[in-house]
Amino acid sequence: MRNFIRFIIRNHFLLLFLLLEIVSFHFIFNYNQYHRKVYLSSSNQVSGYLFKNFSSVVQYFQLKKTNEELVREITELRNQLDRNSFYAPMLPEIEVDTVAAQHYRYSAARVINNSVNKHFNYLTLNKGLKHGIRPDMGVISSRGLVGVVLNTSENFSTVISLLNTRLWVSARLQETGFFGSLSWDGSSYRYATLSGIPAHATPLVGDAVVTSGYSSIFPENILIGTIDEVTIDQGEGFYELRVLLSVDFKNLQYVHIVEKMEAEEQLELEKLSEND
């Protein structure tokens, strides 16, 4: 207390000056309209600038949470879309296409490990057996096809990436419907090759390439990429198409795991047909 009193006594002129300045500014800004407007305008600009930057900092640290919420919303929208197409009202005297009744269940997951510079690339996801994930489930993202679940543990899954020379995917041209086999040649992580497209298909650069739906893993019409280059083997009579992949595997953070509800039934029936 003594030190405080000594400080006031030692600096009483300065403190008195500051007090008078504060009182003066108070009278100026409260009883002078012009100065009051200038003060309010300046203070609003400063406070607005500070709040804007503070908000940007807060949003930056909330990006992870925001992304996770968006992934959950997309997953729920996919599930709702599939349910709506399955339970769509049937018009009278219209034959129901049973293929359209196939429906899928989607689960969101986060990529916790990834590689793109090997011949056999894999991803690791933060979901496993206890989340209902099993081998041979498809994996997609909001931009397109990613790969297939290979192995699972209680809490994690490994995925054979589309950037793996051992993975072949049934794909088709969205415009014409001609299908072939898509694979990765091990060179650039941005391109894959679609082969087996017949010579009369006339594919064009820029045409979309999507999943054919001819497997028990992926739904049809999942985007894979677009045609970047067209070449034809005159001896074989088939096109070889270079496809620019829609998914950037170097910037892959969240995915959706696809479960086909009738996959086992389809596989069992196809095995019976193969044995005949």
Instruction: Give the whole-angstrom CA distance, residue 256 versus residue 72.
Output: 9
Percent pLDDT > 70 in the chain is 65
Q: Which residue has the higher pLDDT, 214 or 167?
A: 167
Instruction: Give the whole-angstrom CA distance, residue 276 versus residue 124.
Output: 39
pLDDT score at 167: 95
Q: In the predicted model, what is the mean pLDDT of residues 207-232? A: 91
Give the predicted TM-score (pTM) of the model. Answer: 0.64
Q: Which residue has the higher pLDDT, 272 or 220?
A: 220
Sequence ranges of the domains in the chain: 2-61, 105-275
Instruction: Give the whole-angstrom CA distance, residue 211 versus residue 174.
Output: 9
Name residue 179's amino acid: F
Q: In the predicted model, what is the mean pLDDT of residues 244-267? A: 84
Fold of the domain built from segment(s) 105-275:
Thrombin, subunit H (2.40.10)
Mean pLDDT score across all residues of the chain: 78
pLDDT score at 1: 66
pLDDT score at 42: 56
Instruction: Give the whole-angstrom CA distance, residue 246 versus residue 30.
Output: 62
Across 129-220, where does the E strand assignment appear?
138-140, 145-152, 157-164, 169-173, 179-183, 191-198, 208-211
Q: What is the pLDDT of residues 122-174, one digit of tens each?
A: 999 999 999 999 999 999 998 999 999 999 999 999 999 999 999 999 999 99
